[in-house]
Amino acid sequence: MGKINVVLSWSGGKDSAMVLHELRRDDRYKVVELLTSVSEEYRRISHHGVRETLLDAQAAAIGLPLRKIYLPSNNGKPCTNDTYEAIMRSAMEAYKARGISTVAFGDLYLEDLRQWRQGNLARVGMQAVFPVWGRPPMPFSREVIALGVRAYLSCVEDKMGKRFAGREYNSELLAELPEGICPCGENGEFHSFVFAGPIFSHPLDVVLGQYVLRDGRHYVDLLLRQQVAAAATEPAVMPPV
C-alpha cells in the first residue's frame, strides 16, 4: 500500500515544524504541500505577523510546495469566520479533486479546535490528523529545543510583556515564562517563526526589525538580512486579529 498524501497546515511556527518532523518519520504519510493563510492586504502570516517573504524562504529551505490562502481584510477588522470557512472549503475541495483527502495540524490539546477542524473537513469528505496531539506541553517544548528547532517569538500577548517579543524559543525563555502561560503558547499567548532546524536544508538569516503593538499584541517585524535596509525606510504594519 502506498503512503497517504498529506497537506500540512503550516503556520511557520515551532509546532508546525514538529509536525513536519513527525510526519517525515512516519511511513504511513507523505507530506505533499504546505498550506498557510496570509493577510491579503498586509501580506503577513495570519496571527503570527510574519512577512510573506520569510514564509517563502521557509518553504524553499524545507523543499516543499507552498500554497497560500489569501484572507481579505474586513474594514480594519479580521476576516470574518464565515468568509474564512468559505475560502478554506474551496481550497479543500481543490485538494479533494487532486486526490488528497488528509490535512495535518499541530494542535496539542484544544478539543474544541480539534472538533472544529474535523467538522469542516468532514463536510467535504476529508479527514484531519494530529501528529503531536496529547503531548504534555513542557516535555514537548523541551523536545522542540533538544531537536534543534530554532525559532523567534514573532508575536506575544500583552499579558506576557513586550520583553518576550523577538526572544529565541529556548530553555532560558521557558524558565522565564510568567505563571499561567502555556510553554507551547497553545492558547495564543505567543506565536513563533522557525528559522533553523532538522527540517531545513539551510538556516535562514533572520534579524529583528521594528516592534509594533496592535490589538493587545506585541509584534517584532522579522526580516531576512537582505531586507533590513529597505525595511528601515517604512513603518511595519501588522494585520488585525
pLDDT (tens digit per residue) in 75-100: 778 888 999 999 999 999 999 999 99
Q: How far is CA 37 from the centre of its chain?
A: 9
pLDDT score at 238:
94
pLDDT category of residue 184 using cuts at 50, 70 and 90: very high
Are 173 and 167 spatial neighbours (Cβ–Cβ below 8 Å)?
Answer: yes
> Taking the model in full, what pTM does it have?
0.95
Are 114 and 107 spatial neighbours (Cβ–Cβ below 8 Å)?
Answer: yes
> Which cell goes with 97?
479533486
> Which cell goes with 114?
480539534
CA distances from 32 to 6, 17, 59, 79 (A): 6, 15, 12, 27
pLDDT (tens digit per residue) in 185-221: 999 999 999 999 999 999 999 999 999 999 999 999 9
Domains and CATH numbers, the chain: 4-231 (3.40.50.620)
Burial 147-182 (b: 16+ CB within 10 A, else e): eebbbbbbbbbeebeeebbbbebeeebbeebeeebb
